[in-house]
Homo-oligomer: A and B are copies of this chain.
Amino acid sequence: MPNMNKNQITAAMVAIGDELLSGRTQDRNIAYLAAFLNIKGIELHEVRIVADNHEDIIAAVNNLRNRYNYVFTSGGIGPTHDDITTDAIGAAFELQVDYHPVAFPLLETHYKQRKMEFTPARQKMARTPVGADLIDNCVSVAPGFRVENVYVMAGVPDIFKAMVLSIEPELNGGEILLSANIDCSYGEGTIGDPLAAIAKKHKDSSIGSYPRFDGNRYSTQIVVRARSQEALDAAVSDIETMLVHQRSL
């Protein structure tokens, strides 16, 4: 990353669910949140994937919430016995968990209108740590919630996305990095040395190098990120000159 930013806003994520650790489910929420935060200028520093395990959830959330501006969680707030995130978040903050005074009538009305029984399992989705703020769910009504800097959201990708978009206005964004992508038909082994020299020269840019392998040959995508257009242009210009030089070798 380029030099530290006075307006730096940082975040971590905890993705919760046995199914993510058994290979049953390919997570899609991490990449979605990562792209969303990138656009907001919020730096996602760390993601942890943990099982539906009370102690593991508490340990991850308590470790991360003191180190980053925001922590976002996915998963474990549904109606079944293996949805234990709400109680773990309560325990992490040493807060009682109870039916939320807004969420409970909201869900009660929702199921009444649909002529569905408001079962204890569905009532479970109205529970939050006491004092939590709700996170709207325009897909299936049952809300997420926020305690201090921890945003607790659903694991179903469509609902996770809806919840992220509903909290968007209240998140403080940081400075957004400018970026440029350069596709390069050479493998990393070919351009590694001159690119390292350019990265060393342009300390106010961050230069990432991402190999691609089509099963036969390598190419590279180079990503330059910087806080100013001048810094970005200078690094990109040096990289393009280097690539022209490679072609002439």
Contact = CB atoms under 8 A, between A and B. Distances in A.
Report the copy number of this chain in the oligomer.
2
Given A56-B45, A211-B156, A196 B22 contact: no
Interface in A10-34: 18-28, 30-34
Nearest to A124: B192
A122 interface: yes
B140 A213 contact: yes
A46 interface: yes
A119 B25 contact: no
Contacts of A38: 22-23
A248 to B, nearest CB: 15
A195 to B, nearest CB: 6
Nearest to A47: B49
Given A81-B209, A192-B122, A196-B121, A46 B49 contact: yes
Interface of A: 1, 18-28, 30-38, 44-52, 56, 78-83, 111, 116, 119-122, 124-125, 139-140, 156, 158-159, 188-193, 195-196, 199-200, 206-213, 215, 218, 223
